[in-house]
Structure 1
Amino acid sequence: MKKTVTILLFLLINSLVFSQSLVDLSKREKERRARLKGKTIIIQKGGDPARKGATLKTDPSGLAEETEGLDDLTSLDRESPPQKRMIPKTENPPEETGADQKDATDLQKLEEQLRKAKEYVELLTLKMNALWQEFYSMDDMKSRDEIQRQISETYLNLQKAQANEQKLQKDVEAR
């Protein structure tokens, strides 16, 4: 009798704790989706950098529409293909000298490089988090070794990308 009550009490507490964690998970997922609303996400897949990855574009309602299949999410550390930035044309551009115009275009190029560097750092950070999550959910040691190798490579790439981002940030601030 005592064992039965203990087991039932344990199961009751366990079910209450599990349901609470599901509520927390759903809240975090809603917050994550709200943050990603309106962003364009480019995922590089496969080992060929020239090959285009799948592009997910979100519509105004916040629902993602997949334009290509997502085969390999573990190859996120590859550089994403360059994105085209649309710059509206002004009707009457101000008269600038050649040096001023060159400085302005250099500054725009630096800002574009900085934006891309920040996106790359964000991408590598997301990949690191995904790899750690996958590592902790694995039981097979061979798979864990492979994931650990990927984590090490991604960490080195992340450090390089962060250093590059800081350098570009200093260059932009210097101008």
Structure 2
Amino acid sequence: RVDFTKIVEEQKSLREDFNKLREDFNKMLLEISELKKGYGRLERRIESTFNAMISGLTDLSKYAGLTLEDFTRKILENYLKGMGVLPSDRSLRSETIDSEQIDIFCEDPAIVGEVTAYAESTKEAEKLLKKASVVRQKLGKEPKKYLLVMTTNKQVYKDIQKISEENEIELIVGRVV
């Protein structure tokens, strides 16, 4: 009878410990959920800030005497170096491969990109995919793909965004009208 009472007390103590652990676990789940939401907001703010910066700097390029492609290539190059994607001793350039004019190119690491002032359809994303295929065939490896669009409308943006997600394209849009 004494052993049974001890077992019941031990079981009761274990249940209390379990309930306390469950409460702590639920609090941690709530914190994780809040962190995920905060991260999502931060990611959207960073993307929005970067896109606004690209848009503003593109407008500025008109006064600097550079072409849109040259200016955008230089901004992307500095961004990729800052992110550690492009080594400091490498640069982005334009290149013609198999009669395909590639706006943004680097051989190692393999990078291909397309720049356009205005996208009125998904044509720019499709052009980028074709150019990426040419680069893949030449280098024998999958290039990182970048599509830089200065301005587009909401529907085209959604369509290009879908293609970008499906094909691992880094999409950078300055302004959606």
TM-score w.r.t. structure 1 length?
0.32
Rg larger for: 2
